[in-house]
Amino acid sequence: AQSVTQLDSHVSVSEGTPVLLRCNYSSSYSPSLFWYVQHPNKGLQLLLKYTSAATLVKGINGFEAEFKKSETSFHLTKPSAHMSDAAEYFCVVSAMDTGRRALTFGSGTRLQVQP
């Protein structure tokens, strides 16, 4: 079985300060991991993905995430928050389970950016 836990339902930062959105996963198999972003009234957009290549993954809009197998974590970071980063962020794990690519989304973290 697989699961993903987003440790914070809400995160608030000031513009220009670093962002950290935490994600822990559980999987019986080698997982693929993703971060998606959902802006208000917009569709889900892929930020970045990890698929067993480099453990530090760079995505769009200055975001990056590091896969740490020993900690079963895939935290999302950005050095300096921008007002446009305010959105809902989802951590997703995909792993071969019973021969199919089962997909599990975290419950989401709402990022608020204060001016």
Determine which helix (DSSP H) or strand (DSSP E) holds 13, and give its type and residue range.
strand 10-14
- What amino acid occupies position 53? A
Among 72, 77, 86, 103, binds other proteins (CB under 8 A): 103
Indicate which single residue of 1, 44, 60, 83 sits in contact with other proteins (rule: CB under 8 A).
44
Residue 75 is encoded by which pair of tokens? 């935290």
**Amino acid, single-letter form, for residue 9:** S
- Residue 94 touching other proteins (CB under 8 A): yes
Of positions 3, 17, 28, 51, contacts other proteins by CB under 8 A: 51
Between residues 46 and 83, which has the closer beta carbon with respect to other proteins?
Answer: 46
Q: Does 10 bind other proteins (CB under 8 A)?
A: no
User: What is the rounded end-to-end Cα distance, in angstroms, of the chain?
Assistant: 41
Distance CA 48, CA 99 (A): 25
Smallest gap from residue 23 Cβ to other proteins (A)? 12
